[in-house]
Amino acid sequence: MVLRKIILFITVIFLIMVFTVPSFAEPSVSAKAAVVICADSKETLYSKNSDMRLPMASTTKIMTALLALENGADEKMITVTDEMVKVEGTSMGLRGGDSVSMLSLVKGMLICSGNDAANATAYLVSGSTEPFSKLMNERARQIGMNNTNFVTPSGLDADGHYSTAYDMALLGAEAIKNPAFLNICSSKNVKAYYGAPPYRRVLTNHNKLLSFSEDYIGVKTGFTKKSGRCLVSALKRDGKTLIAVTLSAPNDWDDHQKLYEYCAPLAKTMSLSCENGLPKLKVVGGKESSVSAVFAKNTDYTYSEKPLSYTYKIYIKQFEYAPVFKGDAIGRVDFYADGKLFKSVDLVAEKDVLLKE
């Protein structure tokens, strides 16, 4: 009798081991290709055909929008021509003769996925789409996207227009370093000003991830019949920043949630710091002779395998005249790994220093 109970107990334990799926098992996703990386270290946390060359649809506009911002996109009004906005597919509603700012074009690309906005940007930056595609590919090489070739600024299908999940993750990580890009792509609604005459519009972001959690950041959706559903997103949680990409994914929203649920616990964070602390800024004519410098934002660094080995350079003003106010920019710290700059963080005044009475 005792022997039977022992055998039954062992059998039950065995069945539990066989049929219970461990909580750390990799998720099954619908995407043909997918990847999750640490935004800072670029280490891969999950990969499925991540180096497979595939069309990436409107996620292409991440590069177009980034180049627009890097070429000084602002609120200055520009008049677009019929040629600039003559393109099929999704649109922010531009017509030839409309006045629009480059910054509104960026909003139109990232929020409305406007092909007209992408095309107009190419013309305004480079004169036409062909030289702009060369600029896109030059920037891609700088980022390390060595398995990518851009042909169109919008992501409309074209021979030789392709990327990989991993390369698009590198692009996503680079793009969200730009404060303006990050602000726009993570917004549920943005205001834009264009038309003939121009008037204010409210553009609504249809990225469902933004409604699921405040931890999600855009970044960009995409779809064509050839590419299927494509999505580049980012997650910022507990000091960690991760980038996920799915290409040709029928259930992309579900894929990204499952990928982050699996990958977030695998990522680690460390805070970058200066070994001997931060210097003080000399203040002339103030109630106090100096003020301490502090980082303007957190210096968290996301990694997976091993902590980063880094060096740094501190740049701070020699002095400043009073008054100096808390949060005033007074310098920066550049962080380097293997001799290459990977992060720059502004230094600001820790408190007010008022004029000496």
Q: Where in the chain are the domains?
A: 33-266, 271-349
Rounded CA-CA distance 262/255 in Å is 11
The whole-number average pLDDT for the span 112-127 is 98
**Percent of the chain whose pLDDT exceeds 90:** 89
**Which whole-number Å values give the CA distances from 167 to 30, 44, 66, 97, 283, in the listed order?**
19, 12, 15, 37, 47
Q: What is the pLDDT of residues 16-26, one digit of tens each?
A: 444 433 445 88
pLDDT of residue 177: 94
Tell me the catalytic residues: 58, 61, 113
Quickly name the fold that domain 271-349 has: Peptidoglycan synthesis regulatory factor (PBP3), Domain 2 (2.60.410)
Q: Which helix (H) or strand (E) holds 259?
A: helix 252-263
Q: Which residues contact 183 (CB under 8 A, 6 or more apart)?
A: none
Rounded CA-CA distance 67/71 in Å is 6
pLDDT of residue 306: 79
Answer yes or no: is pLDDT of 302 > 60. Answer: yes
Same CATH fold, 271-349 and 33-266?
Answer: no
Rounded CA-CA distance 296/44 in Å is 29
Q: How far apart are the first and last CA of the chain?
A: 95
Residues paired with residue 203 on neighbouring β-strands, in sequence order: 190
Q: What is the pLDDT of residues 239-280, one digit of tens each?
A: 899 999 999 999 999 999 999 999 999 999 999 999 999 999
Rounded CA-CA distance 178/272 in Å is 19
Rounded CA-CA distance 117/87 in Å is 10
CATH number (3.40.50.300, 3.30.420.40, 3.30.930.10, 3.40.710.10) of 33-266 reads 3.40.710.10
pLDDT of residue 305: 82
pLDDT of residue 12: 46
pLDDT of residue 15: 45
pLDDT of residue 24: 59
The whole-number average pLDDT for the span 93-104 is 97
The values of phi and psi at residue 353, to 5°, are -125, 105
Q: Which residues contact 122 (CB under 8 A, 6 or more apart)?
A: 64, 128, 129, 132, 133, 153
Instruction: Give the global pTM.
Output: 0.86
